[in-house]
Chains A and B, each alone.
Chain A
Amino acid sequence: MDETILTLLVLAMLMPLAGTVLLLCAGRMIGDRAGWVATSLLGFSFLCCVTIWGMWPDRGHRVLALYNWLPITADGAGFLEVGLFLDSLGVAMMAMVSGIAALVHLYSIGYMRGDPRYTRFFAYLSLFTFSMMGIVISPSLIQLLVFWELVGLTSYLLIGFWYEKRAPQLACRKAFIMNRVGDAGFLIGLGILFAQLGGHLLLPATEGMLMADGNHIKSMIGALAATEAAGQVASSHAGLNDWLGLGSTGWLSLAGLGLFCGAVGKSAQFPLHTWLPDAMEGPTPVSSIVHSATMVAAGVFLTARIYPILTPEARLVIASIGLITLVMAALMALVMTDIKRVLAYSTLSQLGYMVVALGVGAWGYALFHLITHAFFKCCLFQCAGSVIHAAHHEQDMRRYGGLGRKMPWTAAAFGICVLAISGAAIPLTTLGLSGFYSKDGIIAGAFNFGFGISGQWAPGWLFWFLPLLVAYLTPLYMARAFALTFMGRPRVESVHQHAHEAPPSMLIPQLALAVMAIISGWMLWKPMIEASQPVMQVMGIQSFAWLHEPGNPGMKAAHAWLLQGAGWIIPLAFGLWWYRDGLGRASRVAESWAVRPIHRALLNKLYFDVVYDRLISGMVVAQSRILDWIDRRIVDGLVNRTAHLGSDLATATGRFDRDVIDRSLDGAAESVLQAGGVLRTTQAGRVRIYVLGIFVAILLVLIVVLASFLPIWRASAPSAAATGRPVIWTFESDFVSGHRHASGSLGDSIPFSAKEESINP
């Protein structure tokens, strides 16, 4: 069984990778068939994933393969591992990712037709799919990080696909850097975990992390709460450690939040959300898969994976971040006029829901919403893409209008997804479109959490109120987008005139996704909850499992506040009516004195970009300039100054040499020369005169020497008779004895020495 699953999984993984390699290496040969090649490969991959789902035996989790990758201990025995790992969550995600990717590939065949880099687009798209699958099947945080970054890379390439234009260049760079900011946090979290767990970075649902070194992290968290309750904050560290809050299990919060930083970047949560709307500069198929269905979901997926190590404090932070994103993005979606940006902010908002769900502990619903949202948001983007395609790349909704008549299928698919995202359901029943199932669960979880926390913490009510508020806002902004695009009269004739229904290759995926948007919730909610049971059990998540059970207080409250499934109708109907003829009515309200500043601020994305570009980015660049200046002027200047000092010193010594030493030498030489001028008169140049001089000198010396020896002149000369030896002879004998001694050492080198006897018998 496992072998089959492993084979299928490897096949499913290899298909997109093979597509990438094939298209990059043999792209010229494949040419226009690239789209079909990639799509069929992805289709096969999807089939593999569905098969796995079908045969997934016990809904448990299993590590299918594990390889040593990076050595982390000195003896070379400890490793960071990579491999293949699946649990119910992974199976569902694999099916979702490969399915949506296949549909997006299909859609791109029509959308990207005629692009000069057609082949390369599919190569990137397949690589992206591969990377995303890699995240899903990661058994360890390190492998997750690897594919995490690869997803970032492919996203960079896809957003910047039309890099000749300036906006995509900036957008892709921004996306990557924002992701990197998050990743830095990820790395910090990873490092702290690494240091504290001794390198056990296997993901929580496996046996590795939870039981690392006998430390059951979950029980540690429990113990932490207990010790805090008892007022005993045990801290083994002091000073800086206390300041950083690293005492006892503070590191765990820090690690969890660090890892969550990565999720913030990837899932575009506040405050790193600004890249997502800009990423809409990429081709629309990219937006539909990368920035709605999969990549941005990776952050949520990661948070879900590390859920067990998240301390209560960390969860509160996570929920708050999600909450801010949720509300802020919904409000912005309400004022944007670019159709893709509306969808982008709506994505942000929905991601906010998921993150809130994780923060409040509605673990299963966060992932459920991730999957349902993938279907309808992907469909929405594809419809938007079709519209943009039909409208000759006009993206401003103010210039649309009445397109529903020209492209009815697209309008229908869009409409279905609007209903899905609004959480539409048949009132008083539990039947609804996909969004209803997942979102109501999240709101129910938020109610439970909010009620629980508001008793201890005053602003706690926000945790249930804001998700509820956004549940009413969502139908409004989606209705606005639908009405402005498809309803009313055409506002710009040129756009409307040439508009046409999308070609089948684009329409089919749209419709397929729309169908999924209708049925996936109803079809999947029971299996999802059941499938996540074992995973949740391992992680120790018990609550909220059966939110749809009638007795759950949170669910009861949620249903009540959402008018028993009828809550969506009011804002939706209002939106459709209010925007049926364009923005006229709305802009009048927006211009009113009370709303105007808010409207303006929302239109400017709450000035986040301004702050980031001008302030942070500007500061970084300014700092780099300053440091560069310091480097050139001060550090290097110091070096050059030193060198100059050396050369100055050399010059000075050179001058000293020339002016003092040389001159004195010159002076000496000159005086010698003058003396020589005097003396030259004695030098006649005659050889014999020299000879004469020499011998006169010899004679004088001889006389002096003799004078010292001859007793005539030397009163106290030692008597030769007394010693029996003349003075000179003494010297001679010394010489002889010295000589003998010397010859002794040299004698060894005389080759005849061995023949001594024969010579001297």
Chain B
Amino acid sequence: MLLLHVQTVGSSEGWVTLVLFYLFAALSGVSAWALVLSPNIIRMAVYLMLTLAGVAGIYFLLGAELLAAVQLIVYVGGVLILIIFGVMLTSRNPYLNVAPRGGEMALGLVLATVLAVLLAVAVLAAGLPEAAAAAPDDDRYAVRWIGALLLSRHLIAFEVAAVILLIVMIGAGYLVRRRIKANQAGATEGRS
């Protein structure tokens, strides 16, 4: 039900959308900055999860429900798990402190703020349109159109992406295998 409403950004029932937008925007924006300030890697991961979830909500608001689902499944479900794995595999101390030094933190924050401000200025100066000119059709974002586009206009990109995934799979496996070998070699060395 909610989804049906959300699909109609720019319609007369705009207030629901407005609320939802701010809700999701706050979720992702606040989490992102909490992430910046968090010293602990695990927490960072959790904040990232929240940010990504917020972005997924924004996608919902924009009518791209497939994208939102993919965002949740792939990012929140996959990438985040990967990151957690990475943390566990590389940290002897599970709560590794990754707190930045003071000067670095200051520099980073300053630069980030400058960037955000500049972008905001630019966006406002550009005078972007308030809303879309025409109300979209119901099935505008139908998944089948995405499928059709992927297999026609963006076929090459699609195939390239597929190939890249394959390469990544093989490459990652290869890199890890090398590591295992190296570990074994190191182990035998250590024994002797």
Contacts and interface: CB of A to CB of B under 8 A. Distances in A.
Contacts of A692: 107, 111
A706 B125 contact: yes
Nearest to A727: B126
A29 interface: no
Interface string B146-176: 0010011100000000000000000000000
B137 A760 contact: yes
A243 to B, nearest CB: 82
A729 B128 CA distance: 8
A750 B148 contact: yes
Given A720-B127, A749-B152, A750-B148, A710 B111 contact: no
14 contacts: A692-B107, A695-B111, A695-B115, A699-B114, A702-B119, A706-B121, A706-B122, A706-B125, A720-B127, A726-B127, A728-B126, A743-B153, A749-B152, A759-B139
Interface in A715-761: 720, 726, 728-729, 743, 746, 749-752, 759-760
A759 B141 CA distance: 12
A506 B153 CA distance: 108
Given A750-B148, A759-B139, A710 B125 contact: yes
B118 interface: yes
Interface of B: 104, 107, 111, 114-115, 118-119, 121-122, 125-129, 137, 139, 144, 148, 151-153
A620 to B, nearest CB: 78
Contact of A699 (B115, B121, B152): B115
B148 A752 contact: yes
Contacts of A760: 137
A688 B107 CA distance: 12
B152 to A, nearest CB: 4
A751 B151 CA distance: 9
A251 interface: no
Nearest to B107: A692
Nearest to B127: A726
B122 A726 contact: no
A750 B118 contact: no
Nearest to B151: A751
Contacts of B126: 709, 726, 728-729
Chain A interface mostly helix, strand, loop or mixed?
helix
A703 interface: yes
A696 interface: yes
A703 B125 CA distance: 13
A750 B153 contact: yes
Contacts of B119: 702
A706 B118 CA distance: 8
Given A699-B115, A743-B153, A750-B153, A709 B125 contact: yes
A752 B153 CA distance: 12
A629 to B, nearest CB: 69
B170 to A, nearest CB: 25
Contacts of B137: 760
B4 to A, nearest CB: 20
B99 to A, nearest CB: 15
Contacts of A698: 115
B110 to A, nearest CB: 11
A693 to B, nearest CB: 11
Contacts of A750: 148, 152-153
Instruction: Report, as a range, how many residues of chain A touch the other chain.
Output: 20 to 34
A119 to B, nearest CB: 83
Contact of B111 (A699, A709, A752): A699
A752 B148 CA distance: 7
Contacts of A702: 115, 118-119, 122
Interface in A481-524: none
Contacts of B152: 746, 749-752
Contacts of A726: 126-128
Contacts of A696: 111
Nearest to B125: A710
A709 B122 CA distance: 9
Contacts of A710: 121, 125
B76 to A, nearest CB: 25
B75 to A, nearest CB: 22
Given A750-B153, A751-B152, 15 more contacts: A692-B107, A692-B111, A695-B115, A698-B115, A699-B111, A699-B114, A699-B118, A702-B118, A706-B121, A710-B121, A726-B126, A726-B127, A726-B128, A729-B128, A752-B152
A749 B125 CA distance: 40
B158 to A, nearest CB: 14
A705 B114 CA distance: 15
Nearest to A750: B152
Contacts of A752: 148, 152
Contacts of B115: 695, 698-699, 702
A692 B144 CA distance: 42
Most chain A CB atoms below 10 A, which of B107, B139, B152: B152
A720 B125 CA distance: 10
A746 B149 CA distance: 11
A135 to B, nearest CB: 86
A746 B153 contact: yes
Contacts of A720: 127
4 cross-chain pairs, A with B, having the tightest CB-CB distances, nearest first: A750-B152, A726-B127, A752-B148, A728-B126
A565 B125 CA distance: 148
A726 B114 CA distance: 24
Contacts of A749: 152
B153 A703 contact: no
Contacts of A751: 148, 151-152
A685 B124 CA distance: 38
B139 to A, nearest CB: 7
Given A749-B152, A750-B148, A703 B118 contact: yes
Contacts of A688: 104
Contacts of B153: 743, 746, 750
A331 to B, nearest CB: 105
Contacts of A703: 118
A702 B104 CA distance: 23
A366 to B, nearest CB: 99
Contacts of B129: 729
Nearest to B108: A692
B114 to A, nearest CB: 6
Contacts of B125: 706, 709-710
A760 B142 CA distance: 11
Interface string A699-714: 1001101100110000
A743 B149 CA distance: 11
A703 B104 CA distance: 23
Contacts of A743: 153
A253 to B, nearest CB: 88
A252 to B, nearest CB: 86
Nearest to A748: B152
B51 to A, nearest CB: 20
B189 to A, nearest CB: 28
Nearest to B142: A759
A698 B122 CA distance: 14
Contacts of B111: 692, 695-696, 699
B161 to A, nearest CB: 19
Contacts of A709: 122, 125-126
A705 B122 CA distance: 9
A63 B128 CA distance: 113
A204 B36 CA distance: 123
Nearest to A702: B118
Contacts of B122: 702, 705-706, 709
A720 B126 CA distance: 9
